Amino acid sequence: MGIALLLGGFLALMFLRVPIAFALGLSSLATVFYLGLPPLMIAQRMVNGLNSFTFLAVPFFILVGNIMTEGGISDRLVKLADVLVGRLRGGLAQGNVVASTMFGGISGSSVADVASIGSFLIPAMTRNGYPAGYSVAVTVTSSVQGVLIPPSQNMIFYALAAGGLPISTLFIAGYVPGFLLGLSLMVICWIMAVRHGHPTGERYETREALRVAANALVGLFTIVIIIGGILTGVFTATESAAVAVVYALLATGLFYRTLNRAAVGRIFATTLTTLAIVTAIIMTSSAFGFLLSYLRVPALLADGIFAISDNKIFVLLAINVLLLILGMLMDMGVLILILTPILLPIATKVGVDPIQFGIILILNLGIGLCTPPVGTSLLVGCGIARLPLERATKSLLPFYAAMVVVLLLVTYIPALSLTLPTWFK
């Protein structure tokens, strides 16, 4: 009955459109009263959820992403992407993917990628003869690289939920899957371009190409600070994020001169709003996760799966199917915090490394960001294009296929996630 009250209460409150943090907290509180546990336990678990040095990196990474978005870095990255791949068949679509690769390495957010890059690339692609649904599909699916290529806020959430995995190792593990995803989407773009006769982009003169590259590299150096500082041991993940904030402010304020007082005000207001939501969700999901463990939900789910088969291929396939379904229905960050304590023990029991499982989990839920009915990135992309959801979804099908292929490769070939972290130990 306790499990039914906890999970049923949460789902009922979600169905009634209660904010996720309140749904988690209220269902946890109701379950504590039903079980006769001291209510103070909920408060203690909520506080413990934030009692981590790792969590301090979250506000800094959110702030860096907002500074770069408001500071106009995205349009410079789009120009650089156009210089690099614009001459290919379907060059604007190819450039969209490459721009998302670079911007994802700064913002760490799929939604921020779509909102920033998509705001002018989707209309630009439409003006150049690409169908509106196809323009949305390319922008939305390529934005998933932002949750894999570091710095990724969702990797920090996973590290917290998994009991304190090293952020630097997770960051490095995301590179190969992230680039593999981008490459697979570029292949789909090329195939579609050849089939439908999409145009090539403009050719840049050498001097102009160098000017565009130099202009964009100032913003891209933020990635060098974050990842380089961590890999060399100069900074922890939290310290590198703080240094990156200072650099981003200097780059956008002094070099690009795109920030003013009003822009800085918007940046901090947006950051505080996002951080308040994230903090509330982490706190309440910590209490919710404790009750899941107390009620032995992970063990019961594991017993159910292993009762069917303990074959590693089957177990991972079952986890992937479950994650893809849930990713269509709920927010990514919440699912990471709730599902990690449940599914990670099952995955490790069949020999999956926790780092690899983190990449599998994040990629699964990243696909959910592109999937109706609750795919946040898809909704943002459709809003920019003023396009009905069903029209965009039809155009997404070949890109979904590519993403699922990458997901299966990451699931069943551990080296894709674990080789780079081994090199940098």
Number of H helices, E strands in the chain: 23, 0
Rounded to an integer, the average pLDDT of 359-364 is 94
pLDDT score, position 406: 96
Task: Map residue 205 onto helix, strand or coil.
Answer: coil
Task: Map residue 38 onto helix, strand or coil.
Answer: coil
pLDDT score, position 399: 93
Under 8 Å between Cβ of 132 and 385: yes
Residue 24 has pLDDT above 90, yes or no: no
Task: Map residue 89 onto helix, strand or coil.
Answer: strand
pLDDT score, position 180: 94
Q: Return the minimum-mean-pLDDT range out of 28-32, 169-173, 338-342, 381-385.
A: 381-385
Under 8 Å between Cβ of 142 and 256: no
Q: Rounded to 5 degrees, what angle do the CA atoms 111, 176, 357 make?
A: 75
Residue 365 has pLDDT above 80, yes or no: yes
Under 8 Å between Cβ of 156 and 167: yes
pLDDT score, position 425: 64
Under 8 Å between Cβ of 367 and 324: yes
User: Rg of the Cα trace of the chain?
Assistant: 21
Q: Is residue 29 part of a domain?
A: no
Q: Is residue 79 part of a domain?
A: yes
CA 421 to mean position of chain CA atoms: 20
pLDDT score, position 107: 64
Where do we find the tokens 């439409």?
126
Q: Is residue 271 part of a domain?
A: yes
Q: Is residue 8 part of a domain?
A: no
Token duo for residue 407? 């997901």
Q: Is residue 113 part of a domain?
A: yes
Give me the long-range contacts of 408-413 (CB less than 8 A, separation at least 24): 408/320, 409/180, 410/177, 410/180, 410/356, 410/359, 410/360, 410/363, 411/316, 411/317, 411/320, 411/360, 412/313, 412/316
Q: What is the DSSP letter of 254?
A: I
The amino acid that residue 348 corresponds to is T
Q: What is the pTM of this model?
A: 0.86
Token duo for residue 150? 């570091």
Cα–Cα distance list, 306 to 164, 312, 315 (Å): 27, 10, 8
Instruction: Please tell me the distance from the alpha carbon of residue 380 to that of residue 112, in angstroms, as a whole number.
Output: 9
Residue 45 has pLDDT above 90, yes or no: no
Rounded to an integer, the average pLDDT of 104-124 is 74
**pLDDT tens-digit series, residues 393-403:** 888 899 999 99
Where do we find the tokens 């310290």?
239
Q: Is residue 266 part of a domain?
A: yes
Q: What percent of the chain has pLDDT over 70?
A: 97
Domains in the chain: how many in total?
A: 1
Q: Is residue 356 part of a domain?
A: yes
Residue 314 has pLDDT above 80, yes or no: yes
Residue 106 has pLDDT above 70, yes or no: no
Domain range for 102: 55-423
pLDDT score, position 105: 65
Under 8 Å between Cβ of 408 and 363: no
Q: What are phi and psi of 388, to 5 degrees?
A: -60, 145
Under 8 Å between Cβ of 377 and 369: yes
Cα–Cα distance list, 12 to 206, 207, 278, 323, 331 (Å): 60, 60, 21, 20, 16
Q: Is residue 23 part of a domain?
A: no
Instruction: Please tell me the distance from the alpha carbon of residue 249 to that of residue 401, in angstroms, as a whole number.
Output: 39
